[in-house]
Structures are given as C-alpha cells and as structure tokens.
C-alpha cells in the first residue's frame, strides 16, 4: 500500500508541476520594452520594429518606453529593479552594459547579476563617416589628414565612454594624431552634428547611419565587421585597412530582470527568435545595414562577459572617465 502511494505521488508530480511551469511562462499584462536612450537611435529603431510582432505572439501589447540618461544606466536600472516576471525588459547595445561598470564606479546594479540575457537581436557594423566639407575622400586620406592636423579634428560620439567613443579613440592612436572627442546624448544627435558641420567625423551603427551616407548627407569612409556592406560596396573594412577594433559594432540584445524564472526566459528567447525570423523583419534589418543574430541567451551571456573584460582594457589604456 505504501509503495502504491509513492508511485501515485510520483505519477502526479509532473501534473502538479505543469500548471506552475505554465504560469511562469504566461503574460498577464502589457509588457514594457525599455530603450535607455532618446528616440531615433539603433535600439529605439529595433524595439519599435519588433514590438508589434512580439505582442501578437505573447498575447499582450508590447509598449516601447524611452528612459534616457546616465549613459543608459537609468533605463537598465529600471529593469534591474523591476518585478522578475518578464513583463519589463530592456533592449540596448550590450557594449553599454560592458563598458559602464568601468566608467561608473558606483552603479546601482550589477549588469551580470541583476539583468538576465534573453535573446540577441542584431549585429550591425559601424560606419565611420566624415562631414561632406572635410577635404578627404577615403580612409587613407582621413588617416593622413588626422596625423597632419593633430588636435584639429573633432569626433562626435553617442556619449563619453560609449563604444563609438572607444573605437574612435583607438583609431586616433593608430593614425598618430590627436582627435577631440565630443559626446552627445545618443547616436542621433551625433549624426545631426555631422550633417550640420558641427563635427568632422563620427562612428555609428549602420542601422542608424546608413541612410545618411546613402543620401549623401555625409561621406562614408570605412566599415567594421567581416565584410563590406552591400549598400556601400566601395567602403573598405577596418580589417582590410589594418585598423584596430575591426569587429566592433552594435550588438543589440534584450534582457529581463535577473531573477526572472527560467521558463519565462526560455519562452521569451523562443518567441523573440521567431519574430526575428519573419521575412519582413529580416529584410528591414538588412535594409538598415544589420543582420539578425538570434543566438540565444547562453551566447548572449558569453559575449557580454567577454566584452566587459575587453572594453575595460581599452578604457583603462586611454584613461577614459565620466566627468
């Protein structure tokens, strides 16, 4: 009798666990997708592109909220301190999470502990571009000009310590000339500064800057990544030029609160991957100069850990600090 009771209990266990697992994957209210920067940037463009389809899959509206400030920390902290139920997420370039621990000594959250990687979204190479009035036509001329006019060039970036700042600093070191770095509150105003001749050069993700180059509002010089862009086949890659940081770019990903149950993370990982596989979204991301990289939570965590270490070395080598 006792053995029968044990067997019955064992048989019933999966049935009892199933409702709990189902609840852990169920969306009961509007989902907030936080973009920790102003509208118009790469993260914002991607969030608004995928939100409608994701909402259809999970059966709830997905609302994009811009919570800019403190180099992305305000929006990330909001998610880090949200309820761990998958209803609040953040979409951003993971270099923000990788660099901020080295730039802000008193972060209110631990990016590797308080935020859970859910799904990679996209990789977009950087486009290095110059103002149309700058007297350079290609990468070699820019490097020579920077060296011959040391201290006279200024580079707009999306904020002190951002990867666009770090890569531009590495380039200046390689060229042998000093460049003045001007931080803006996001990539969109940095691009505007270049168009209006307020800045001489800038670095930005292709999803954001490609239209400006294609429309001749600025002159493209070179691109990061493993291959040339189809829309700009004449621009050489950093690797071809022997320039530093050849694989840098915007690696966008979605994260939830760090203690979100594993079943919810798994469902979000799966649903977002399906959204990113939709032909219209793949096509649109390609038109923006990026490529879908839905490689899953485990790969996302590995890349975040690696970038946190590598970009920390660049920050220390260039003595970059947030004033």
SS3 sequence, the chain? Answer: CHHHHHHHHHHHHHHHHHHHHHHCCCCCCCEEEEECCCCCCHHHHHHHHHHHHHHHHHCCCEEEEECCCHHHHHHHHHHHCCCCCCCEEEEEEHHHHHHHHHHCCCCCCCHHHHEEEEEEEEEEEEEEEECCCCCCCCHHHHHHHHHHCCCCEEEEECCCCCHHHHHHHHHHHHHCCCEEEEECCCHHHHHHHHHCCCCCEEEEEHHHHHHHHHCCCCEEEEECCCCCECCECCCCEHHHHCCCCCCCEEEEEEEEECCCCHHHHHHHHHHHHHHHCCHHHHHHHHHCCCEECCCHHHHHHHHHHHHHHHHHHHHHHCCCCCC
User: pLDDT value at position 323?
Assistant: 64
User: pLDDT value at position 239?
Assistant: 97
Domains of the chain, earliest start first? 30-123+249-317 (3.40.190.150), 125-241 (3.40.190.10)
User: pLDDT value at position 24?
Assistant: 62
* 31-82: pLDDT as tens digits: 999 999 889 888 999 999 999 999 999 999 999 999 998 888 999 999 999 9
Q: Which residues of the chain are under the pLDDT cut of 70?
A: 1-24, 323
* 101-132: pLDDT as tens digits: 999 888 999 998 999 999 999 998 999 999 99
User: pLDDT value at position 19?
Assistant: 57
CA nearest 73: which of 170, 199, 159? Answer: 159
User: pLDDT value at position 144?
Assistant: 97
CA nearest 223: which of 211, 208, 234? Answer: 234
pTM score of the predicted model = 0.79
User: pLDDT value at position 16?
Assistant: 54
Q: Which two tokens stand for residue 217?
A: 């509002």
Q: From residue 297, how far is each of 22, 56, 159, 265, 266 by CA, in Å? A: 20, 22, 27, 8, 8
- Cα atoms in the Cβ-side hemisphere of radius 13 Å centred on 149: 14
């Amino acid at each position: 009798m006792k053995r029968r009771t044990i067997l019955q209990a064992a048989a019933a266990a999966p049935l009892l666990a199933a409702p709990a697992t189902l609840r852990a994957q169920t969306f009961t209210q509007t989902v907030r997708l936080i973009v920790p920067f102003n509208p118009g940037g790469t993260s914002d463009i991607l969030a608004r592109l995928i939100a409608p389809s994701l909402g259809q899959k999970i059966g709830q509206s997905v609302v994009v909220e811009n919570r800019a400030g403190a180099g992305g920390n305000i929006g990330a902290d909001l998610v880090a301190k949200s309820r761990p139920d998958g209803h609040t997420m953040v979409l951003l370039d993971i270099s923000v999470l990788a660099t901020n621990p080295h730039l802000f000594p008193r972060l209110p959250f631990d990016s590797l502990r308080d935020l859970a990687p859910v799904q990679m979204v996209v990789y977009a190479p950087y486009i290095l571009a110059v103002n149309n009035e700058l007297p350079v036509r290609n990468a070699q001329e820019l490097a020579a000009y920077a060296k011959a006019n040391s201290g006279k060039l200024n580079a707009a970036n999306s904020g002190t310590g951002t990867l666009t700042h770090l890569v531009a600093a590495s380039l200046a070191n390689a060229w042998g000339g000093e460049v003045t770095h001007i931080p803006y509150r996001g990539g969109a105003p940095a691009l505007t500064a270049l168009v209006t001749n307020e800045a001489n050069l800038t670095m930005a993700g292709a999803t954001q800057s490609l239209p400006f180059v294609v429309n001749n509002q600025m002159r493209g010089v070179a691109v990061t990544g493993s291959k040339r862009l189809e829309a700009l086949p004449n621009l050489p890659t950093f690797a071809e030029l022997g320039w530093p940081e050849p694989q840098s770019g915007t690696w966008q990903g979605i994260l939830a609160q760090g203690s979100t149950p594993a079943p919810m993370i798994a469902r979000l990982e799966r649903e977002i991957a399906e959204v990113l596989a939709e032909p219209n979204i793949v096509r649109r991301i390609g038109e923006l100069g990026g490529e879908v990289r839905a490689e899953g939570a485990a790969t996302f965590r590995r890349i975040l850990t690696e970038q946190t270490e590598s970009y920390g070395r660049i920050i220390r080598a260039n003595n970059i600090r947030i004033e």
